[in-house]
Structure 1
Amino acid sequence: MTLRYLKWIAGAATGLAMIGSAHAGTITVYTALEEEEVAAYLEAAKEALPDIEVEALRLSTGDLGARLIAEADNPQADVLWGFAVTNILDPQIGDQLEPYEAAGLDQLADQYKADDNRWFAPVGYMGAFCVNKPRLEEIGAEMPRTWTDLLDPTFEGEVVMPDPGSSGTGYLMVAAILQGLGEEEGWQLIEDLDSSMAQYTTSGSRPCRMAQVGEYTVGASLSFVAMQGISQGYPLEMVIPEDYAGYELEANGLMAGTDNAEDAKRFLDWTLSDSATSTYSEYKAVVTIPGVARSPLADDANLPENLDDVLFPMDFAKSGKEREAIINRWRETVGR
């Protein structure tokens, strides 16, 4: 049966990536993975699963979470793919998932999967500063190594970061600061940092892309976007914050009550297969599956070999429980 790659339209409620043949089984997948990686992964999936058509809706973390909650009484998806564990731990979302022990799940360490097999996380992402070196020299600032360094007056209006209400990347940054410093000092730092912020974006990757072309000096963003920018020749330095380098796990799960359980489970099995994992390192700094080759981009950007040495020990359960309250307070504190 001949495969055909039909289309990829991202970021809207009608956006679909479809792979397979006109007569194949069809599953609907919701994801918050970045657009370019979704397209690449689905290209690999269509080779491994030629008899399944995948319709993938990609939304930002915040928008997808809101959609899942809104659809709770009438679920529209078969699979949740690449969604922040912090959000899945919200019972309004996590309770929509059905336990499933995917093939290959035993290779993941316990911290990368749910005790009841409702979700598992083969990949994740971490925050980083994307620093435009010529612009840094132009404003006469030192290379920022910590969040506190960004309080230097020379960075006023020179920093961009994601809005934690819409971006999982933005939320992990705020959550790491609060978990590291505690409520009082953490919120004070967040409030003080606002004077350095030119704007807050809805996308986790956009701040880095803005910094790489020189719109701003620092983009608080995703480490892998920084690695890509460096490989593409942009004058960037990637800085993993030495104080609170937050990270997030991206998990997959089976939607409860799906009418397409067999094909949905096969897709979930595929996400732990060699076909999928061989592609992960091309887009991810954090891969939880043992033995996956390190990306050459990681070496070019001087990403530490052992991420445990730099990542803040996030309490995902705490992040999930406090998410709504934190976002509400962030909006009250920042006010934009």
Structure 2
Amino acid sequence: MNRRMLFMLTGAMSAVLPAIAFAETQLTVYTAIEAVDLDRYKETFEKAHPDIKINWVRDSTGVMTAKLLAEKDNPQADVVWGLAATSLLLLKTEGMLEAYEPKGVAELDKKFVDKDTPPSWVGMDAYVAALCYNTVEGQKLGLTAPTSWEDLTKPEYKGHVVMPNPASSGTGFLDVSGWLQMWGEEKAWSFMDKLHENISAYTHSGSKPCKMAGAGEAVIGVSFEFPGAKAKSAGAPIDIIFPSEGSGWEAEATAIIAGTANLEAAKTLVDWSVTKEANEMYNAGYAVVAYPGVAKQVEHLPNDIASKMIENDFEWAANSRGAILKEWQKRYDAKSEPKT
């Protein structure tokens, strides 16, 4: 080979090599994670793995679950990172998840890991039912702060309570599922009938009731602990109350969608999602995380939230979801906010 040909060949290879070196995998990741956290999660993961880029598709838990099920025969997502474990169990029963045991999963609390081997989903953190009570508005109206779920049925709260719709919000579903598990069907539906009398609206976002309470648009928001802590940090005059009977809860979880063309990159993301570093990141917003010993107290929240969480049967909740939502919508959907 003469020198001129060698030079041309070397130049051509030089033009190709940078493209190879900087080739990156684009992962479509479906999520119901609070929008405020998405940039932080993406940046932290991509810093550790610059060859993989996350493209988020976000919506509320119910909407995202319905979207995934509708796409069963033509999946559009590679990974679900941050969706209710009960929703992922629904996808599992439809054969939509790629079972995978991530590196380091043995370090996680067992209640955050799918029972099968290898698991189809792994948990990240827990969001726990809580009440956001506006102390200023409550005082104006001469109300007393609730201490229990049963308190919410008192006549004095009529028109002053908002909560999420369980068909569109994972927070709403964990409330209803929690009541049914704590009390059984007869007592739980009787409680919800009485609660309905005091509800001004059912929202399609789990955090919105707490934001409404923080803004004085409602006295009591049935929500979860994270938006309460955030609102209080921003100066909202609210108390965050964990009802005395115990709180329903849900795990945010991660899974690979079966049939993804980017399986190795998807496994890399799931491996990273269970690391101590990732769990430290989750702890910025959630007081209970999957990795034992990582969680530090979140400002404005008690340090014993785990003790307030009820025994939660994810399998039962997932298998009963359809029947629960059908009954709930028949009884109460008339007070739901319009869907946008």
> So what's the TM-score if we normalise by structure 1?
0.89
Cross-structure match for 1:179 = 181
Return the letter of the residue paired with 2:123. Answer: A
Map residues 80-119 of structure 1 onto 2, 5 A cutoff. 80-91=80-91, 95-114=95-114, 115-116=116-117, 117-119=119-121
Cross-structure match for 2:168 = 166
Contact 1:33–1:82 (Cα < 8 Å) also in 2 = yes
Map residues 111-260 of structure 1 onto 2, 5 A cutoff. 111-114=111-114, 115-116=116-117, 117-260=119-262
Query: 1:285 offset after TM fit, Å?
Result: 2.3
Runs of 5+ in structure 2 lacking a partner? 1-20, 335-340
Distance in 1, Cα, partners of 2:180 & 2:298: 33
**1:66 maps to 2:66:** yes
Cross-structure match for 1:288 = 290
Distance in 2, Cα, partners of 1:63 & 1:22: 35
Contact 1:69–1:93 (Cα < 8 Å) also in 2 = no
Distance in 2, Cα, partners of 1:88 & 1:141: 40
Distance in 2, Cα, partners of 1:109 & 1:277: 12
Per-residue CA deviations over 1:24-56 (Å, capped at 9, x if unaligned) read: 211111111111112221121121111111111
**1:315 maps to 2:313:** yes
Query: 1:110 offset after TM fit, Å?
Result: 2.3
Contact 1:207–1:221 (Cα < 8 Å) also in 2 = yes
Query: 1:244 offset after TM fit, Å?
Result: 3.9
Aligned residues: 312
Contact 1:48–1:275 (Cα < 8 Å) also in 2 = no
Cross-structure match for 1:270 = 272
Distance in 2, Cα, partners of 1:85 & 1:112: 9
Secondary structure of 1:90 counterpart: helix
Query: 1:63 offset after TM fit, Å?
Result: 0.7
CA gap of 1:118–1:132, structure 2 versus 1, over 3 A, is same
Contact 2:80–2:255 (Cα < 8 Å) also in 1 = yes
Contact 1:45–1:275 (Cα < 8 Å) also in 2 = no
Distance in 1, Cα, partners of 2:59 & 2:298: 29
Return the letter of the residue paired with 1:208. Answer: C
Return the letter of the residue paired with 2:281. Answer: T
Query: 1:145 offset after TM fit, Å?
Result: 1.0
Runs of 4+ residues deviating >3 angstroms: 91-94
Distance in 1, Cα, partners of 2:333 & 2:295: 43
User: Does 319-328 or 105-114 show the bigger shift?
Assistant: 105-114
Distance in 1, Cα, partners of 2:328 & 2:110: 32
Distance in 2, Cα, partners of 1:330 & 1:296: 33
Identity, in percent, stands at 37
> So what's the TM-score if we normalise by structure 2?
0.88
Return the letter of the residue paired with 1:216. Answer: A
Distance in 2, Cα, partners of 1:176 & 1:52: 38
Per-residue CA deviations over 1:177-220 (Å, capped at 9, x if unaligned) read: 11111111110110110111110000000000000011110011
Alignment root-mean-square deviation, CA: 1.6
